[in-house]
Structure 1
């Protein structure tokens, strides 16, 4: 049974772990939330931790630690320290949040799914969600994208990949009742957003691969929505190409803030001050 965070007593610590970690905006977002909520006893740091160092790092944390945000490459090894795992973390095979119980045990969550759903909530409310969608990539974030799309009502997903889709992503789709069609990344835009059916696309590609995906859009006219999970150096080449092709483009910054907001809620037990977090995020990337 997943538990609520322990009661506030004295200085409380949280952090983001990963490698590389220098680019992370998590400290900016969480500290902005603490300031807005008046949680003056909370501290949030960033630590460079790879897979080999992860277990010793967690084992060395004292009783003041309340939560950990996890980025690559720790989203799978985190299962090894979890006493309980949320259904969404199980479905995606990826953990990006650890919340400590009063007993010292850790509960594992995936807030990336929440972040994607929330980022697409505006476009989804403005137009009916299609029953099919396209996901670019097939890694851990792609698994979260498939889960988010399933939550929105999508039942068919085209996975656009350079080679074969990763088995874990196919398992996630199957477990969630989502039918998968694999297509080459070079042909991802074909039959996407054509005719009367709007496109719903989530790109989980890094900037370099996203640039290649952008080239596919040259000379095309589409309608619908594309979420690019990248937020640095915005707009990305893919975002620019998608907008030029007629798609409504959602920045990965929206996903990032919403998933961090859910982490704040899980760790502190308080609703996240999203307005303050968005303001801090936009200032950080300006």
Structure 2
């Protein structure tokens, strides 16, 4: 009991730290920059340029710029702080909650912690010079899993989970539930930004999950290349250039919404 109380007190003190909160909010800023870069790459693809329209492509683009490695190390710290903040929320609830929060709120915080831990690791790889295309990594992992029935079932489950997450993003955007994550009353421009951003990202995730499932049923692991593959699949359709531009703008709008989160998110 003493250990649990001590851990809770430590977590509470961490939440009360202004410096820690600012570092965690910095994670949203970095997320916004990454999504803006993904959107930019998608628009470039529409006009015939090459690149990976996903997190690895965005981080690789940033690493290639003057001072890019330094910026990536800053991003590692910000993502790690946001991941730790979400872990604390899963343990003791949100700082702004009057009580410990519901079990669903804690589960969401834990899931978000997992996302930001993955972001932290990927960013660390690029900051240290060992980053690789996530599309190639996904295809390679899919090829290994597809060597047996259990692995294929796991891939289908992963694909369905990604589709579910994408569907939740679309729902969250259309229903405007994202406003519950923000402090105070929001303007119509913030509402529109959130709707467009969540719907666009949700559609991209649904496409990525669908490609994973399709890879299993077609025995073609090269299809399971994540968001980059989903965006490039859009480009291969009739009116592909228009769809790529639309996807790029939508993901970029999600990036702008992340800046709103950095300032107004309920922490």
TM-score range for the pair, normalised by the shorter chain length = under 0.3
Q: Which has the higher contact order (CA 8 A, sep 6+)?
A: 2
Q: Which has the higher strand share?
A: 1
Q: Which has the higher helix share?
A: 2
Give TM-score, length-normalised by structure 1: 0.26
Give TM-score, length-normalised by structure 2: 0.28
